[in-house]
Amino acid sequence: MVAVSTTAWWVLGSVVGALAVVVAAALVLTVIALARRIVAQARDIEAALIGARDNTAPLFDIAMMNHALESITRGIKRAQDDAGPEDDGGLLARVAGAIAAWRLV
C-alpha cells in the first residue's frame, strides 16, 4: 500500500462524498422532471376523459327515452287488449255491410 498522509485521505473522502451528492442530486432532478411530465400527461388524459364523458352523456338519455317508449307501447297494447277486438273497417265497412244486407232482402 502506498503511504498517504492523513490530509490526503480527508481530501479523497471529501471528493467521494461530493461525487455521491452530485449523483444523488442528478437522480432527484431526473425524478422531478419525470414527475412533471407525468402530471402534464395526466392533465391531458383527464381533459380527454371529461370530453368523452360529455360527448357520450346523450347516450344515457337515449336509453331512458327508449325505456319510456317501451312502457308507453306496453300500456297502449294493454289498453287495446282490454278494449276488445276493434272494428277493422270502421264506418266504410259498416256501410258496405248494410248495403250488402239490403241487396239480399
pTM: 0.49
97: its cell numbers: 255491410
How confident is the model over 20-29, as a mean pLDDT? 98
Q: In the prediction, which pLDDT does 88 show?
A: 58
What is the Cα–Cα distance from 4 to 77, expressed in whole angstroms? 105
pLDDT, greater one: 50 or 5: 50
| Segments making up each domain of the chain, as ranges | 20-55
How confident is the model over 38-55, as a mean pLDDT? 96
Residue-wise DSSP of the chain: -----HHHHHHHHHHHHHHHHHHHHHHHHHHHHHHHHHHHHHHHHHHHHHHHHHHHHHHHHHHHHHHHHHHHHHHHHHHHHHH----SSHHHHHHHHHHHHHHH-
What is the residue-averaged pLDDT of the chain?
Answer: 85
For residues 93 and 87, the answer to whether their CB atoms sit within 8 Å is yes
What is the Cα–Cα distance from 20 to 33, expressed in whole angstroms? 20
Q: In the prediction, which pLDDT does 89 show?
A: 62
Q: In the prediction, which pLDDT does 99 show?
A: 79
How confident is the model over 24-48, as a mean pLDDT? 98
pLDDT, greater one: 6 or 54: 54
Q: Does residue 47 surpass a pLDDT of 80?
A: yes
How confident is the model over 1-7, as a mean pLDDT? 71
